[in-house]
Structure 1
Amino acid sequence: MRFLPIFRALLAQLLVLALLAVLVLILTRFDLRFPLAAVALLQGLGAALLGWRLGLSRWWLPINFAFVPALLLAQGLALPGWLAPLAFALLLLLNWNSAGERVPLYLTGRRTLQQLQALLSERDGGGRFVDLGCGLGSALCPLARAFPQRQFLGVETAPLSFLIAWLRSLPLRNCKVRYRSLWAQPLDEFEVVYCFLSPEPMMQLWQSARTQMRAGSWLISNSFAIPGVPASRTLQLEDWRGSRLLLWEMPGAELAATDPAG
């Protein structure tokens, strides 16, 4: 099991701090000294790069870069000492499900949302939509507002992410958020299943989808493919992450029985 992203970020911070501590100790023996601010910025750069090499998402780069410089700034401003552990706890609560479900927090961008709206517009009438691992509700709630005739459900197990998404969904009569694992959510009642997960759970999700989802329903994945299963449609989003939407239309029973991925 891979470590939670928050622990990989902490590991990157500690390793770079240790390396810099040894380097500074060596340089002081030669009477070479650097300003503390310069050391902090160098540590931030090293932690950001190492965190990226450890598999952290790109949005962790500014967090890792700014962590130690922010602590230094807080010390200079005499800010309360509990701010740092509070920030750590908040990040942990936002990414709590990364270990069990292998799904870090990703936020759905504006271009993705626009393309999802266009796709849903292709399907006539109402229908039900589920967001597996809905995070902060960044896709779920705007889509529910855009399609009041449809029913939307989001499932999430990171405590703080769930709370934020649940609060955002309260004003929407056609949207609900449940504290539930994506693996515990039945898929047979939905016409569209959306996810923004990670590479690791995609094959397991496909096995669930092909046995539960009805013929003609859609499985849509943001960015992550199902190994060995070509998507019915691939839509490039042309955003800064190079994202894409991959759509699989569920086959009928006869085609599903001959699916090579089964």
Structure 2
Amino acid sequence: MEFLALSLVLAAIVLVLAGTIRTGVPPMPTSPAVRACMFTVIEGLEPRCIHELGAGWGGLAAALARRFPAARVIATEASPLPWAVCRLRCALFGPANLEVRFGDVMKTDFSDADLAVCFLCPPAMAKLASRLEDGLKPGAWVLSNAFALPGWTPVKEARVDDLHRSAVYLYRK
């Protein structure tokens, strides 16, 4: 029994590490304080379609779907274990307007997005900047947790009173 438990833990670690090495982005959950700040920054927006690009474990995607019940929320994740957890959370607890997809955010079609949400490390944000420029429709919003989008000018910026003084950026295409 102990061997089985240890094997499962090691398999989980290997899956997360493999996904991190492949994508260059570890699954990083958004803290409740940052999530609250993000919702304050987008106050007044009523997006019909939201894409979370790099959904990780699914906490932010579920919160977005609950905050915007009339919107279609699409969470995309490329790391197998976080994707599986996100998908299971969605299947068990909803909400019904949340769809979880396995895939590379750099190859995802998000042309229907009114709001794209991301929490990716700086090298991934640099790659994503041109993808968003090419792939988003005019007038779409981009909400970024912690890292700025190179080449884009934020229309709003906020800081969270947390250990890292986390930044939240809102952009408009």
Assess, with a 3 A threshold, how the Cα gap between structure 1 residues 150 and 120 changes in structure 2: closer, same or farther. farther
Q: Which segments of structure 1 move beyond 6 Å, counting only runs of 4 or more? A: none
The answer for the alignment partner of 1:192 in structure 2 is 115
Which of 49, 53, 64 is the equivalent residue of 1:128?
49
Q: What letter is aligned with 1:184?
A: K
Q: Distance in 1 between matches of 2:67 and 2:37?
A: 13
Tell me what 1:164 maps to. Answer: 85
Asked if structure 2 preserves the Cα contact closer than 8 Å seen for 1:220 and 1:245, the reply is yes
Question: What residue is the counterpart of 1:117 in the other structure?
Answer: 39
Residue-by-residue CA offset, 1:69-109 (whole Å, 9 max, x unaligned): xxxxxxxxxx8345444323212223432223211110011
When normalised by structure 1's length, the TM-score is 0.60
Describe the shift of the 1:235–1:108 C-alpha distance in structure 2 as closer, same or farther (beyond 3 A).
Answer: same
Aligned mate of 2:10, from 44, 69, 88: 88
1:140-155 map, 5 Å: 140-155=61-76
Equivalent of residue 234 in structure 1, options 153, 157, 161: 157
Seq. identity, %: 23
Structure with higher RCO (Cα < 8 A, 6+ apart): 2
Which of 124, 128, 141 is equivalent to 1:205?
128
In 2: Cα distance, 1:241 partner to 1:103 partner: 19
Paired position in structure 2 for 1:243: 166
The structure carrying a bigger strand percent of its residues is 2
Q: Which has the larger radius of gyration?
A: 1
Contact between 1:135 and 1:162, CA under 8 Å: does it hold in 2?
yes
Q: Distance in 2 between matches of 1:168 and 1:232?
A: 33
Structure 1 gap segments, 5+ residues each: 1-78, 251-262
Query: Who is 1:258 aligned against?
Result: none
8 Å CA contact 2:38–2:143 kept in 1: the answer is: no
Unaligned runs of 5+ in 2: none
1:103 counterpart (22, 25, 31): 25
Structure 2 distance, partners of 1:146, 1:178, is 20
TM-score (norm 2): 0.88
Conserved 8 A contact 1:140-1:154:
yes
Aligned length: 171
Q: 1:10-47: CA deviations, max 9, x gaps?
A: xxxxxxxxxxxxxxxxxxxxxxxxxxxxxxxxxxxxxx
Q: Please state how far the C-alpha of 1:189 moved relative to its aligned partner.
A: 0.5
Task: Measure the CA separation in 1 of the matches of 2:69 and 2:17.
Answer: 30
Code of the residue aligned with 1:148 in structure 2: it is P
